[in-house]
Structure 1
Amino acid sequence: MKRKLLLQTLTAAALLAAHAPMPALAQPGKPAAKTTAAPASAPLAKLLAAYWDEQARLYPLGATAQGDNRYNDLLPNDQTQAHRQQQRAFYQKYQTQLRKTDRKQLSANDQTSYDILDYDLGMSLAGLQRNSWMMPFSQNGGLPSTLGQLGAGTGSQPFKTEQDYANWLRRVAAFPVWADSAIANFRRGMRAGVVLPKALVVKMIPQLESFVTDDATKSLFYGPVAKFPAGVPASAQQALVANYRQAITTQLVPTYRKLAEFLKTEYLPQARASSGIEAVPGGAEMYAYAVRNYTTTALTPAQIHQTGLAEVARIRTEMEQLKQQVGFKGDLLAFFEHLRTAPQFKPFKTPEEVLTVYRGVLARIAPNLPKLFGHTPKTGFEVRRIEAFREASASAQYSRGAPDGSRPGIFYVPIPDATQYNLTRGMDALFLHEAIPGHHYQIALQQENTALPAFRRFSGYSAYTEGWGLYAESLGAELGVYTDPYQRIGALNTEIHRALRLVVDTGLHTGELTREQAVRYLMDNEPIDEQRATAEVERYMASPGQALSYKVGQLKISGLRAKYEKQLGKKFDLRAFHDELLAGGAMPLAVLERKMDAWAARQR
């Protein structure tokens, strides 16, 4: 559901000291146009505005992430049946109102807005029929970790004024009640057999325990009062320090301790040994919904599995060719081991050295960006190391900037051990995906386009967003990277990783693969060690279907480009294609194809 995707942006809030920011327009290009679409018709515009305003209060954490600070003090208890009923009534109300609109009388852009909202409301209602609420959070995300990212003082929750500090205290005060309801839902799941795998629960316990401390000043939640901004008067600071100490000592630490103790003593013994969601009652339906939700297609798990096998075979063939080009003697598995372990590919001694390489990619691609993009975002951009409390199990990721420019977009890199960071991991490709021109361009341009209704400016569909990120990796040669065989091998490593996900995710959640078999399959087909392969597989176990979105989305975007190149011939303009693709914001893939087909017809 869209709300879930919006909240995923919270998982990259910065908890460490900020590195020097990169300028927003370090590369040539024109800023995004302020208006790229005709205004919506008055009745539809009113409906869309009301929908977005009401959902901001229903999902205040998502509103905070988007820079809407009206509800920064709210933390609704979304673990209750009453809240789920409130969600259902909300979606049904707006679906009924939307379908009273005559779609045929709308402009093309309004028809796109209609289609997106209609799709979203339908999927949200379908999602409420699933019993995934019996598994409130996992090692891969959920409110306990989100609060940690918000509460350190360097993320999307603002700590600039005395009111900001008061807002956070009120939000935190609701956490103990939320946790009690989450435990009740876990227990409902235990009785119904809808429980998480043991392999995930054992990872969740130390994550929760990392928030437990007897010294409030050692808590990451102490960060906002360790140093106050100029906007907080000195006369208020002493009381705030006392209130934050009390909140940490009496609300936060006891709640995290209670959650950890519950999982350890009560839940873990009843967690399941199986790996895939199909093993729980209703699991097949839950997975079918997840596949539809994350891919925004009607593809079946079996179809996606076969696509994955074909993509893995294709990419392995390219890897074999590059292996021969660099003169490596041995089979592909031996080549993977060489790439993974050879000292020449591990030149780093400090995390800052790793970050410097990533920051240097922008300088190399900057001269070529204007050839591929007519518009670039105004929002600033930074590269940072990921926060310490989740670095061991986190993946590289992008955190959206604030629409008003007060917070930059941030590319977060986990570096638990710099000496083991590998050049052949595909550093250039990862930057293109997570940063520029990947998620930073796509998300920042979307947010900055004030001609779009708010629900489109801030929406997120994984197949579109991650599909664009993976497609952006394929632009490396056109942007001036991948200039030697090992850079190209790195890019193929990242691509095959996403192709392998199609095989592993569908295999796990249809019961064809166990956790151990999935780990082995990854290690047999890419240069990945057992620890990283295990973390990846456990991520798929925790979020069924999400890992499918990357390759499915990329194949759709690449397919559209190939189709229009063939249709338009010399009239095909790659810059115009990219600008049109990004102009309307994230949307379901079927809606995207209709929109792009209309664009291609105009070019003819």
Structure 2
Amino acid sequence: MKLFKLLLVLMLAGIIACQQKTEQKAEETTGQKDSVQLKALLSNYHDERLQFYPLEATFAGDNRYNDTLPNNISQQYLNKLEAFYSKYKNQLQELDRGQLSENEQMSYDILMWECDINLESFKYPTHLTPIDQFWSLHISMGQLASGAGAQPFKTVEDYNNWLKRLDDFTIWCDTAIANMKEGVKTGWVLPKSLTAKVIPQMADLDHGPVNEHLFYSPINLLPEEFSDEDKKQLTEKYQIVLEDKVIPTFKRLHDFLKNEYLPACRETAGAHALPNGEEYYAFRIKQYTTTTKSADEIFELGKSEVARLLSEMEKVKEQVGFEGDIMAFFEHVRARKELMPFTSPDQVITHFNEIHERMKPQLKELFDLVPKTPFEVRRTEAFREASASAEYNPGSLDGTRPGIFYVPIPDVSKYNLFSDESLFLHEAIPGHHYQISLQQENENLPEFRRTLWYSAYGEGWALYSESLGKELGLYTDPYQYFGMLSAEMHRAIRLVVDAGMHAKGWTREQAIQYSLENEAESKESITSEIERYMAMPGQALSYKMGQLKIIELRNKAEQALGDKFDIKEFHNKVLESGCVPLAVLEKKIDRWIAE
């Protein structure tokens, strides 16, 4: 009897073990199936998405779509784009996230965020304000038309691709005029001061002579190896397109903006004045900070950061022996002749390259992930220099086109270098150039994540990079350290003035005055910045929100790991996954600390 019971127990154990193995195999099969499906989904998403955003492909060095420019402000395009994001959200929801690996779960979460935030954006008729002075298609096209940007001009096909893209651009411009007319009817219009800045940009491009026009630049760069016949044909084509299409298009835009649109624009500065403006600004906060913070929370955080940084600035003022108040010190920094030593724009470019050379030995102490993509400092193109900020343009995915740090130098005699070290750390190395190039070069990421951009992460990393100056052997001059404090103050002020204008009814002039009272930038520079925030509600919040999160995560890791903390490894962990929403980054660092 005992033997029978023993055999029965063994039989039952065998059956249970067999069932468990079967279930485990079934789970593994399900997990493998979900993994395979996700990989295919991500690949399809990336390829299909580029057809909606072909300029992104061009900037990434993917030349498949260089001859197209979708009319992305037409209702037909917007309907297709909404269907695109709905389709991929539905496909994602069919997968079991729990069966995916850690990296796959991150891709799942990022794509779900992309679908959700884009689907939410369709509530707001931003296509009715398609043109502004800072970040608009006519500016991107001007950069590409220079022949020195991302659009290649190496083959005859390249030259013909650009002509096709110009045809699409003229269609886009006519749609822009129609949309702005609709915006006038519904109250969805730009502030007057922004339109006033766009009009001169159009005036620069609305006339000949053709051979002196910015969009004629590629003809001045015709490769020597082209045949005489090709050169002749291309020259004639470009002359005809400029005379018959491009110049008349800019003339129509200029006349419409000046005579019809400007008088209909609003006097208010903030998004709150738009139809459904409060809800729209809350959405923009979520979009740009990847958080659920309210405008009130951000406004108060900004004021506390401004107060903290002012106290740090007072210490520098005492260090250099300046006896006036902080406002007088700001004016002293703005006007100090020793901080404006340049007589030619080339000297400014050389100065930035010297900063790079000075910090190279220390970079290897903080980073062991270094991009292969080359890097250059260039002066901003003349047509947009007057209203441009310093900026970084990424290199191509294959590294053949360098990352470019553009520096506007509209008047070299007034160029003040007091914040140049922090500016280089932010826009160039180890800021945007390291972060974006490493992301683009990382073949372990799915394609759609290699060119993904979240302002809170990307700008947050760049602002965090400014805080590394002393560790990199910079900020030995108190004025350069003050420049770093000023740059951080500039971003703290953004929290106050952006939320102030877009949620609390502040005027443009109130925002300018608040900035003048708390930072050393010139009034011209501050005015340009405030108008940038007016054009892009919420974007200016992303810098400080992202920086504070990365600093918080570094402090948490240092406290938790003690002697085991490795700054290079921390930077690896932050950078290796590319741009991610801040909540996704925090989960990743928490897992690293726990492991």
TM value normalised by structure 2: 0.93
Q: 1:329 and 2:323 equivalent?
A: yes
Alignment-derived partner of residue 198 in structure 1:
192
Match for residue 60 of structure 2?
66
Instruction: Tell me how far apart the structure 1 counterparts of residues 422 and 177 of structure 2 sit (CA, whole Å).
Output: 41
Equivalent position of 2:438 in the other structure: 445
1:113 is aligned to 107
Please tell me the residue identity of whatever aligns with 1:437.
P
Quote the residue 1:533 is aligned against. 526
Query: 1:481 maps to which residue?
Result: 474
Indicate conservation of the 8 Å contact 2:272/2:505, yes or no: no
Q: Secondary structure of the residue that 1:77 maps to in structure 2?
A: coil
Measure, in 1, the Cα distance between the counterparts of 2:218 and 2:390. Answer: 25
Deviation string, structure 1 residues 449-489 (Cα, Å, up to 9, x no partner)? 01100111010000000000000000000000011211211
Secondary structure of residue in 1 paired with 2:405: strand
Task: From the superposition, tell whether residues 459 and 230 of structure 1 become closer, same or farther in structure 2 (CA, over 3 Å).
Answer: farther
Higher relative contact order, structure no. (Cα contacts within 8 Å, ≥ 6 residues apart) = 1
Matches within 5 A, 1:116-265: 116-230=110-224, 232-265=226-259
Q: Secondary structure at the match of 1:527?
A: coil
CA distance in structure 2 between the partners assigned to 1:530 and 1:363 by the alignment: 32
Match runs of 1:558-577 below 5 Å:
558-577=551-570
Distance (whole Å) between structure 1 residues aligned to residue 95 and residue 532 of structure 2: 41
Quote the Cα distance in structure 2 between the aligned partners of 1:231 and 1:166: 16
Matched positions, count: 564
| Separation (CA, whole Å) in 2 of partners of 1:133 and 1:478 | 45
In 2: Cα distance, 1:96 partner to 1:232 partner? 50
> Which of 489, 500, 505 is residue 498 of structure 2 equivalent to?
505
- Runs in 1 of length 4+ with deviation above 3 angstroms? 230-234
> Aligned equivalents of 2:227 and 2:36: distance in 1?
45
Residue 78 of structure 2: aligned partner: 84
Whichever residue aligns with residue 198 of structure 2, its letter is M
Name the SS for the 1:383 alignment partner. strand
Give the percent of matched residue pairs that are identical in Structure 1 and Structure 2. Answer: 51
**C-alpha offsets along residues 363-391 of structure 1, whole Å, 9 cap, x if unaligned?**
11111111101110000000000100010
Q: Which residue of 371, 377, 384 maps to 1:377?
A: 371
Q: Map of 1:298-313 to 2, 5 A cutoff?
A: 298-313=292-307
Cα distance between partner residues in 1 of 2:253 and 2:306: 41
1:471 aligned to which of 452, 464, 477: 464
Which of 415, 421, 434 is residue 415 of structure 2 equivalent to? 421
Native 8 Å contact 2:207 2:251 kept in 1: no
Return the offset for 1:41: 2.9
- SS of residue matched to 2:378: strand
CA drift at 1:231: 5.7
Contact 2:133 2:198 in 1 (8 A): yes
Deviation by residue 1:65-116 (Cα, 9 ceiling, x = unmatched): 1111111111111121111100000000000001111100000000000000
1:433 maps to which residue? 426
Q: Would you say the 8 A contact 1:175–1:255 is kept in 2? A: no
What's the CA shift string for 1:237-281, capped at 9, x where partnerless? 100000001111111110011011001111111100001011011
User: Contact 1:49/1:453 (CA < 8 Å) preserved in 2?
Assistant: yes
Structure 1 residue aligned with 2:24: none
- How far apart are the structure 2 equivalents of 1:129 and 1:234? 53
Write the distance in 1 (CA, Å) between the matches of 2:175 and 2:479: 51
| Other-structure match for 1:293 | 287
CA–CA separation in structure 2 for the residues paired with 1:491 and 1:178: 41
| Pairwise CA distance, 1:214 | 2.2
CA contact (8 A) 2:288 2:454 kept: yes
1:384-418 CA distance string (max 9 Å, x none): 00100010110000000011121000111001111
Q: Secondary structure at the match of 1:275?
A: coil
The amino acid across from 1:558 in the alignment is: I
1:212–1:253: 8 Å Cα contact kept in structure 2?
A: yes
Distance in structure 2 (CA, Å) of the matches to 1:136 and 1:434: 26
Q: Secondary structure at the match of 1:246?
A: helix
User: 5+ residue gaps in structure 1?
Assistant: 1-37
1-structure distance, mates of 2:338, 2:65: 51
Paired with 1:265 and 1:85, the residues of 2 have a C-alpha distance of 32
Report what 1:551 is aligned to.
Answer: 544
Query: Is 1:455–2:452 an aligned residue pair?
Result: no
Code of the residue aligned with 1:573 in structure 2: it is D
Give how far 1:144 is off.
Answer: 1.3
- Alignment of 1:515 with 2:508, yes or no, is yes
Unaligned runs of 5+ in 2: 1-31
For residues 553-581 of structure 1, what are the alpha-carbon distances to aligned partners after superposition, in whole Å with 9 as ceiling and x for unaligned?
00000000001111111111100000111
Q: CA deviation at 1:166?
A: 0.8
User: Displacement of 1:230 after TM fit?
Assistant: 4.7
Shift of 1:227: 2.6
Determine if contact 1:133/1:185 at 8 Å carries over to the other structure: yes
SS at match of 1:382: strand
- Rg larger in structure: 2
1:588 matches 2:588: no
Tell me, in whole angstroms, the C-alpha distance in 1 between the residues paired with 2:324 and 2:118: 51
Q: Which residue of 1 aligns with 2:591?
A: 598
Q: For 1:201-259, what per-residue CA distance to the aligned partner results, in whole angstroms no more than 9, with x for missing partners?
A: 11110101111222110011111111312563333110000000111111111001101
Aligned position for 2:337: 343
Residues 405 and 427 in structure 2, CA contact (< 8 A), matched pair in contact too: yes
